Amino acid sequence: MGIGNAIAQLFAQEGARVVAADIDGHAGAATAKKIQEAGGHCFFRHCDVSEESEVKAVVASGSKEFGQAIDVLLNVVGIAHESPAHLLDLADWERILKVNLTSMFLCSKHVLPGMLAARRGAIVNIASVQGLFGFPSNPHYAASKGGIISLTRQMAREYASQGIRVNCIAPGTVETPMTAQVIARAPNPADLRAAWEKMHPLGRVGRPIDIARGALFLASDESSWVTGQCLVIDGGLSSAVL
């Protein structure tokens, strides 16, 4: 299960009416079906969130479906690709920046008018510890995640006086399809998994629900005096780095 999937399920359990958007139509529809079968409200829209016209259409259909402007935006999308900078193609650099960072600008841009009209809203962006600390082989991913943290701070300042809070989360390694692919490609998957567990002082990698709980806090009124922050949820990884 991905982090977005866990967030959609937790928010629906808490009574949110969820519009889930993903480029993977099969997985997105399955998530929406699971939530509906459990009695929650969720509908799925196929969307490449790095394309402005598609984002605009999803925001409009979400507002129409539920008869109100979107009041909470979770920007979760992210793709990874490994290469040191001197071997990295410009096309891969641009692709990662577009999907990971530009998409969060686009989704925010099209959700904000409704939040500004309502004078309330919460945006939560998923960054990464790779936006805070240096790790090998991911210059474009790290740059996109650092950009998300800066964008979060800037937008928090811009919209605070209008009742809109903007925060982000920097997860450590979380067990999802993204990291499963990295493990599967490793020469010795069991060794890599053990190394990841050891790297996190709490002795395990994260679960998607660990991140979803943080997102719920930042989206809810429980965090009504929190904006412009980066909540690190990493099993203690960054305390060990420091």
Ligand X SMILES: NC(=O)c1ccc[n+]([C@@H]2O[C@H](COP(=O)([O-])OP(=O)(O)OC[C@H]3O[C@@H](n4cnc5c(N)ncnc54)[C@H](O)[C@@H]3O)[C@@H](O)[C@H]2O)c1
Query: Left (φ > 0), alpha (ψ -120 to 50) or beta: where does 105 sit?
Result: alpha
Binding residue (CB under 6 A) for ligand X from 35, 42, 69, 77: 77
Contacts of 130 (CB under 8 A, 6+ apart): 138, 141, 142, 145
Instruction: Choose, from 43, 141, 159, 196, the residue flagged as catalytic.
Output: 141
CB atoms within 10 A of CB 87: 9
Structure tokens given for 177:
């399809």
Binding residue (CB under 6 A) for ligand X from 9, 128, 223, 227: 128
- Binding-site size, ligand X (CB under 6 A): 25
Binding residue (CB under 6 A) for ligand X from 3, 96, 111, 143: 3
Subset of 16-45 contacting ligand X (CB under 6 A): 22-24, 27
Q: Which is nearer to ligand X, 118 or 182 (CB)?
A: 182
Least Å distance, CB 54 to ligand X, is 8
Q: In terms of residues, how long is the chain?
A: 242
2 binds ligand X (CB under 6 A): yes
Subset of 145-204 contacting ligand X (CB under 6 A): 171, 173-174, 176-179
> What's the rounded Cα separation, in Å, for the pair 154 and 146?
13
Q: Which amino acid is at 129?
A: V
Binding residue (CB under 6 A) for ligand X from 16, 69, 76, 166: 76
Q: Which amino acid is at 88?
A: L
Positions annotated as catalytic residues are: 141
